Structure 1
């Protein structure tokens, strides 16, 4: 053990204290042997991607939501974003940010396309980042309506938001 020099205080450091540097190596207990062929099992194969539950142009199934989305897309976007973000941002905050982006640069689709990508990743939906941006840039209202319908078809009550859905599911 360490012996302090005369005139210097002794520190109560336990023997073998962690310093971040290896002190010794024992191949018998380390589990490593140079010739071993034991490997960790391979990761499971990725889940196959699924189709969207409704088509991009199936807006006629909910004409009320389609009209709201055409007149004020920030409402539909806010509802979708709140569910996708699992309640970390509110419907109002997401809708307000969408509106601000629309007012400043005139193109809210640059913001909403990222949520489509996030939604695809969460639910294993077919598509890619490039098509997400193209769909939102070319037909913003149809894209938002499709995302809204997808979440509804997955069991979300879009009117009550994320926290309302969580509360409703815990009461059942």
Structure 2
């Protein structure tokens, strides 16, 4: 019974540490404009968040009447959290989306306002 030892290269994967949301779920007064926007017209704020994240602006409106968990709010929240490397879990996303969907949309909006790059297009003068 001859045993052969095979050496395989090791792959080291380093994961970046997860960070927290820029503001907590109930930090509405940290950004009063977002708070008012979400309070007076949450569907409009939801569409803005969806568009800023690169999804279709009308995505939040496609849900109709939410049953128990608003599907667009939950999926958008989980996606933002995963793409931005924000700590959390699907269970916490469900709780935020169910218990206070307005605060959840406001928190997502504040997060995207912090990270959304501004693109400036300049034209060369015609000579």
Query: 2:6 maps to what in 1?
Result: 36
Q: Structure 2 CA distance, aligned partners of 1:130 and 1:106?
A: 17
Question: What's the TM-score once normalised by structure 1's chain length?
Answer: 0.60
Gaps of 5+ in 1: 1-33, 158-164
Matches within 5 A, 1:61-80: 61-80=30-49
* 1:141 Cα offset (Å): 0.9
Pick the aligned partner of 1:139 from 100, 118, 122.
100
C-alpha RMSD of matched pairs (Å):
2.4
Gaps of 5+ in 2: 123-127
1:55 aligns with 2:24: yes
- Higher RCO (CA < 8 A, seq sep 6+): 2
Question: What's the TM-score once normalised by structure 2's chain length?
Answer: 0.78
Count of aligned pairs between the two proteins: 119
- Which runs of structure 1 show a deviation greater than 6 angstroms over 4 or more consecutive aligned residues? none
2:8 is paired with a residue whose SS is: coil
Q: Structure 1 CA distance, aligned partners of 2:40 and 2:70?
A: 15
Structure number, greater radius of gyration: 1
